[in-house]
Amino acid sequence: MSRLLLLALLMFPVIAQAELTIDHAWIKNLPPTVPVRAGYMTIVNPAKQAVSIVSFSSDAFSSIDMHETVMKDGMMHMQHVPELTIEAGAKVTLAPGGMHMMMEPVKPTITGEQINITIKLSDGSQQTVIFTVEQ
């Protein structure tokens, strides 16, 4: 029986799913009259292969997209980032003035509130991260 199990493992290797390390996940609180929020975090990919974030979801937001602030023709613009690839062993920081999540809240956010956001990765796996709303 153990030989059969060993043979099956050799023939069909276990496919490892990506797991990112997320630090300081936070959302900038804004007055209720402002229709969007920005989310930030530090992402580390400890795996031996690159992984891409392909989407975000949360019950607290009707939409979540990735944007990057760029200088174009002497003016700052936000451009949509359809997929964020984090190379093996690399760290990517989403921070004010750079890469960030742009979110449309279902209801106003409250400072100190914790919100679950699910990150969908290119390998089909998902990871839920707790974001804290900060002033």
Report all structural domains of the chain as residue ranges with CATH numbers, in order of start. 18-134 (2.60.40.1890)
Confidence of residue 17 (pLDDT cuts 50, 70, 90): low
Which whole number is the average pLDDT over 5-14? 46
pLDDT of residue 81: 97
pLDDT digits (tens, 9 = 90+) for 54-91: 999 999 999 999 999 988 899 999 999 999 999 999 99
Tell me how far apart the alpha carbons of residues 35 and 54 are, in angstroms, rounded to a whole number: 23
Q: Residue 120: CB partners within 8 Å, gap ≥ 6?
A: 53, 54, 55, 56, 57, 126
Say which residue, 12 or 115, is predicted with more confidence: 115
Percent of the chain scored above 90 by pLDDT? 83
Burial of 133 (0-12, 13-18, 19+ CB in 10 A): buried
pLDDT of residue 18: 74
pLDDT digits (tens, 9 = 90+) for 26-50: 999 999 999 999 999 999 999 999 9
